[in-house]
Amino acid sequence: MSIKITRNTTNNVVLTLTEKVTISAPYYFLFSFTNQDTNSTKNFIASDTSSYPNRYNEFSVQEVNSGSENLTSGIVNLLPAGFWNYKIYAQTSSSNLVPANANQLVEEGIVRVMDNDVLSFNEYDGQSTTVKYYNPEE
């Protein structure tokens, strides 16, 4: 699974986590992001705002460039931009930020944290897509 986070904005992240949870409700989800370049880790809890959590989970993750983080409310500073590995844990605590103290690992994947001014991979950049090659038999 892959998540995209844009810096300095509130991001809606939709996942299917409830189907993997084996602990009794109520439960919370602990996100653990580790930057692939710096190996720095950021742990935070985001609230599930889904109207149908048995079908999907929707989280509001606010990435802040400056100002204060609130790691138990999904307000986090993810510097530097780039690729991060993520692990999401189900837990009964609404305040635990230590993965080793969480109840169950439910998902792993990659997060791409992008600055607002970075072009998307799908945007046209004006370059020719014609490929020329040499074939001596022609």
Cβ neighbours around 130 below 10 Å, total:
5
Alpha-carbon distance 60 to 43, whole Å? 15
Predicted confidence at residue 27, as pLDDT, reads 82
- Computed from CA positions of residues 118, 80, 35, 49, in that sequence, does the dihedral angle turn out positive or negative? negative
Alpha-carbon distance 37 to 82, whole Å? 8
Predicted confidence at residue 66, as pLDDT, reads 75
Predicted confidence at residue 80, as pLDDT, reads 93
Taking the domains of the chain in order of start, what are their residue ranges?
Answer: 2-114
Predicted confidence at residue 137, as pLDDT, reads 76
pLDDT in tens, the chain (138 residues): 789 999 999 999 999 999 999 998 778 999 999 999 999 999 999 989 999 999 999 999 999 987 789 999 999 999 999 999 999 999 999 999 999 999 999 999 999 999 986 555 555 566 666 666 677 776
Q: Is 37:21 a contact under the CB 8 Å cutoff?
A: no
pTM given for the model: 0.82
CATH number for the segment(s) 2-114: 2.60.40.10
Give the position of tokens 């930020």.
Answer: 97
